[in-house]
Amino acid sequence: MNNIKLSITTISILFLTNPVSAIELTDYKVIEGTYSDAYLDGSLTVNDDSDKEQTSYNAVVKADLESVHTTAPYTLNYSIKGEGSTARGSDANASKDTKYSTEADIQVNKYLKNDDTYFVYGNSKLGYKKLSTTSSASDPYVEVGVGAGYGRMYIATPLASAMRIAEDLKEYKIIKPDVSDKALMALAKIIGLQDEYVSKYGSNEYTQYWYSDMEKALKENDALVGDTLSATGVVRLNEILSTNDARGVLARLHGWTVQAGAGQILSDYNGDSGDTTVNAKFDYALPFGYTSQLRETLTTAKVLDSDSDLDYKMKNDLSYTYEMSDKVDWINSWDFEFSKANNSGDDVTTNTLGTTFRYYLANQLTFDTTLSLSNVDGNNLGFAETKGWNTTLTSSLSYRLK
């Protein structure tokens, strides 16, 4: 009970520390937008104690990419996640243990009315993995699907950037303390057009026109203290918006989508094909202030083929990110998966809990410290059961690809 009270108190403090503004990120409903986030990180642990029979080591490499491109008629979503590790124990007879996995998802939504209501979709999923208990990789996983859905996810990162810029420039007395919501929205719309400025003026020259139009938007809405941003203001804009820095405003999404359809498994990890599935998905995102982001994604799949080893699968990914400062993010996640066997063997439940403190360095580098707990209950369907919970504390350097 004390732990529950402490958790509630902690969450309340995080919410209360978010800056209060009349405008909310959920007010930003510009349909046109692009969001991309990609990281590559690695860690290495080596132990060469004199009382051990041989040097032990553990090397881990992870890659994570997500992209959302939204227009009135279409939305394109894709993500790639990969992880690989190699390790060896300190016993004389310990051998090298290597495992890796990668998953890729892509989906295109076609909105029937060019708005945020009904859409039809097509998607595909690819997977490839090798377990530590096997000597070779499994067969690749390939699935395609079609269906229909409702709703839309909005990219509100430009408004979050505008809020940070306003907060920053107030400290330098470049803009007025009572910046209007209209001025913030006008600034956000210019920020959201970055790709158009790059296309029109080139990647080396576009910033001068981009920043100039931001200055005009602030001036037209009576937000500037003087007549211009000044050299300091331009430097601050570049510091916050520069794509050459690991920092920057975290992606801010809001909205929801729900969808249902049918899929066809062309190849599973055992090399079997021909299974038809009925699929459903719910995706939800909500920012709190401009410093916090909640994301919930639930997917389910029912295999219709009675001869398949898998009968039903459900996966839930929940994450909460809090921007503690311009240089430190706190990222929390819970990944849950349940796989029900069709004929024999164990049903499998997997849980992975993680909390990461990400410190932003220069030149697109971050330093991550992650505590994770993982558990696999059941030894079937390509999963290897664990004895209790595995606890891992890692520190790693991460490179921001985009």
Which pLDDT value is given to residue 346?
A: 83
For residue 4, pLDDT over 50 is answered with: no
How far is Cα of residue 98 from the mean position of the Cα atoms in its chain?
A: 26
Mean predicted confidence (pLDDT) in 342-356: 88
- Higher-confidence residue of 127 and 56: namely 127
Mean pLDDT of 126-130: 88
Q: What is the mean pLDDT of residues 279-300?
A: 93
Three-state secondary structure string covering the chain: CHHHHHHHHHHHHHHHCCCCCCCCHHHCCCCCEEEEEEEEEEEEEEECCCCCCCCEEEEEEEEEEEEEEECCCEEEEEEEEEEEEEEECCCCCCCCEEEEEEEEEEEEEEECCCCCCEEEEEEEEEEEEECCCCCCCCCCEEEEEEEEEEEEEEECHHHHHHHHHHHHHHHCCCECCCCCHHHHHHHHHHHCCHHHHHHHHCCCCHHHHHHHHHHHHHHHCCCECCCCCHHHHHHHHHHHHCCCCCCCCCCCEEEEEEEEEEEEEEECCCCCCCEEEEEEEEEEEEEECCCEEEEEEEEEEEECCCCCCEEEEEEEEEEEEEECCCCEEEEEEEEEEEEEECCCCCCEEEEEEEEEEEEECCCCEEEEEEEEEEEEECCCCCCCCCCCCEEEEEEEEEEECC
Q: Is the pLDDT of residue 13 over 60?
A: no
38 pLDDT exceeds 80? yes
Tokens of 8: 């509630």
Which pLDDT tens digit goes with each residue over 88-118?
877 777 778 888 889 999 999 999 999 999 9
Chain mean position to CA 117: 24
Unique residue bearing structure tokens 């229909």 = 148
Distances (CA, A) of 60 to 70, 87, 98, 361: 34, 9, 10, 21
Higher pLDDT, residue 154 or 309: 154
Written as six digits, the tokens of 340 are: 């029900």
- Burial class from Cβ neighbours inside 10 Å (0-12, 13-18, 19+) for residue 160 reads buried
**For residue 80, what pLDDT is reported?**
93
The answer to whether residue 238 scores a pLDDT higher than 90 is no
pTM for this entry: 0.82
pLDDT of residue 311: 86
Cα 156 from Cα 33, distance rounded (Å): 9
Q: Are 61 and 101 in contact (CB under 8 A)?
A: no
Q: Residue ranges per domain, the chain?
A: 157-241
Lowest mean pLDDT among 148-162, 235-249, 351-365: 235-249
pLDDT digits (tens, 9 = 90+) for 177-210: 999 999 999 999 999 998 889 899 998 899 999 9
Would you state the pLDDT for residue 334? 97
Nearest to residue 275, comparing CAs of 76, 125, 148, 134?
A: 125
> Which pLDDT tens digit goes with each residue over 245-277?
445 677 889 999 999 999 998 887 777 777 899
Instruction: Give the model's pLDDT for residue 5.
Output: 42
Strand pairing partners for 339? 313, 348
143-167 tens-digit pLDDT: 999 999 999 999 999 999 999 899 9
For residue 286, pLDDT beyond 70: yes
pLDDT at residue 6 in the model: 39
